[in-house]
A = this chain, B = another copy of it.
Amino acid sequence: MALAPTAARPRLLRAFAGQPLTPPPIWLMRQAGRYLPEYRAIRAKAGSFLDLCYAPELAAEVTLQPIRRYGLDAAILFSDILVVPHALGQTVEFVEGEGPRLEPVRSERDLFRLNTEATRPKFARVFETVAKVRRELSPDTALIGFCGAPWTVATYMVGGQSSADQAEARAWAYRDPGGFARLIELLVDVSVEYLSGQVAAGADVLQIFDSWAGSLADDQFERWVVAPTRAMAGRLKERHPHVPIIGFPRGAGVQTPGYAAKTGVDGVGCDTALPLGFITRELSGRVVVQGNLDPLLLVAGGEAMARRVAEILTALSGKPFIFNLGHGIVPQTPPENVAQLVELVRR
């Protein structure tokens, strides 16, 4: 089932060999998605959103769409971070226009409802998607596998939905740190298996999305963001020493350099709010920097976008750097602005 690594080396991987590339490689978070009419066409015939995530033929097609349109340097597996809790047996639904709804896990006792063995058949379908995509991609395009970080996935599992302050998970972590740690450990274990399977199926790079890393006090950040990510990175490196890992601790701000140093990730995704001066001073040259154009500038396009792209390139291109957004593409993005962005970066 696993594919042999391709002989030619995707350009994106050269950034992880310590080379600043001109122009930098580019891919965009949520590059496969609702802003593309060809995505919406597939989505319409796929049943539910999760059905699409588990349908190798369709998910592979959706993964490849932005590569065909824009010739980006990497494809990222089309999936969702909530595939992991769903595969574990938690009830997960995506309510149109409202986001995910999960039957919450609120205490250590609820963890008995989760079943690691049950993940196998569901993960297998994701791995099939990965293998399909890798077969169809050209050798110079990287394929990025991903999962949510344990903390971020836990915020959804505990809260039952997206929330501005992740209060439910944070409250459990304070009330019963031992019980909450059990959930986090379970997620570390299952996420390592999940990412490892993606590598075996053909993923060249891995990204760990910690979208809600920004709400935690420093001690909680160390315990629930840094430590689990370090554990994952360590175990993945043992199995796949040559597969780069990008961590994306969104909103980590001041704590981002510490996260980079302590977790052992190879690259760090920088959100839009991280100032360019800070990235240059504290991150560039220590890890591969990835980011950080505001997705809303990709909606606005034109001169404003061009000016900021130039600023980012000037600030970050001297060291290993991957051009990306600071957060995912939003649905109202005009597809032609994405084409313009790629041209600006490659000019």
Contact stretch, chosen from A123-131, A184-192, A273-281: A273-281
Report yes or no: A330 in contact with B167, Cβ–Cβ below 8 A: yes
Contact-residue bracket for chain A: 35 or more
B-contact bits for A215-234, CB 8 A (1 contact / 0 none): 11111110000000000000
Contact stretch, chosen from A39-47, A109-117, A133-141, A168-176: A168-176
Whole-angstrom distance from the CB of A332 to the nearest CB of chain B?
A: 8
Copies of this chain assembled into the complex? 2
Whole-angstrom distance from the CB of A301 to the nearest CB of chain B?
A: 9
In the assembled complex, A66 has its CB within 8 A of some CB on chain B: no
B-contact bits for A295-334, CB 8 A (1 contact / 0 none): 0110110001000100100000000000000110010000
How far apart sit A266 and B170, CA to CA, in the bound complex (Å)? 31
Report yes or no: B330 in contact with A217, Cβ–Cβ below 8 A: no
Contact stretch, chosen from A48-56, A67-75, A87-95, A247-255: A247-255
In the assembled complex, A335 has its CB within 8 A of some CB on chain B: no
Q: Which residues of B contact A165 (CB under 8 A)?
A: 327
Partner of A254, one of B171, B219, B254: B254
B-contact bits for A280-298, CB 8 A (1 contact / 0 none): 0000000000001010110
Q: Which residues of B contact A221 (CB under 8 A)?
A: 273, 275
Q: Which residues of B contact A292 (CB under 8 A)?
A: 217
User: Which partner residue on chain B sits nearest A305 by CB separation?
Assistant: B174
Report yes or no: B253 in contact with A171, Cβ–Cβ below 8 A: no
How far apart sit A263 and B117, CA to CA, in the bound complex (Å)? 56
Known contacts A251-B251, A254-B278: A273-B217 contact under CB 8 Å: yes
Known contacts A174-B300, A297-B174: A276-B214 contact under CB 8 Å: no
In the assembled complex, A4 has its CB within 8 A of some CB on chain B: no
In the assembled complex, A164 has its CB within 8 A of some CB on chain B: yes
In the assembled complex, A272 has its CB within 8 A of some CB on chain B: yes
Q: Which residues of B contact A216 (CB under 8 A)?
A: 272-273
Report yes or no: A276 in contact with B218, Cβ–Cβ below 8 A: yes
Report yes or no: A308 in contact with B278, Cβ–Cβ below 8 A: no
Report yes or no: B296 in contact with A170, Cβ–Cβ below 8 A: yes
How far apart sit A274 and B217, CA to CA, in the bound complex (Å)? 7
How far apart sit A221 and B294, CA to CA, in the bound complex (Å)? 12
B-contact bits for A119-162, CB 8 A (1 contact / 0 none): 00000000000000000000000000000000000000000001
Most buried by B among A216, A254, A255, A308: A254
Most buried by B among A177, A217, A219, A311: A217
User: Which partner residue on chain B sits nearest A330 by CB separation?
Assistant: B167
How far apart sit A286 and B175, CA to CA, in the bound complex (Å)? 35
19 contacts between A and B (CB under 8 A): A165-B327, A170-B294, A170-B296, A174-B296, A174-B297, A175-B300, A177-B304, A214-B214, A216-B273, A217-B272, A217-B292, A217-B294, A218-B276, A219-B308, A220-B294, A221-B273, A253-B254, A253-B273, A254-B275
Apart from A174-B296, A217-B308, list 13 A-B contacts with CB within 8 A: A170-B294, A171-B299, A174-B294, A174-B299, A175-B304, A177-B304, A217-B326, A218-B275, A221-B273, A251-B251, A253-B254, A254-B275, A254-B278
Interface residues of A (CB under 8 A from B): 162, 164-165, 167, 170-171, 174-175, 177, 214-221, 251, 253-255, 272-278, 292, 294, 296-297, 299-300, 304, 308, 311, 326-327, 330
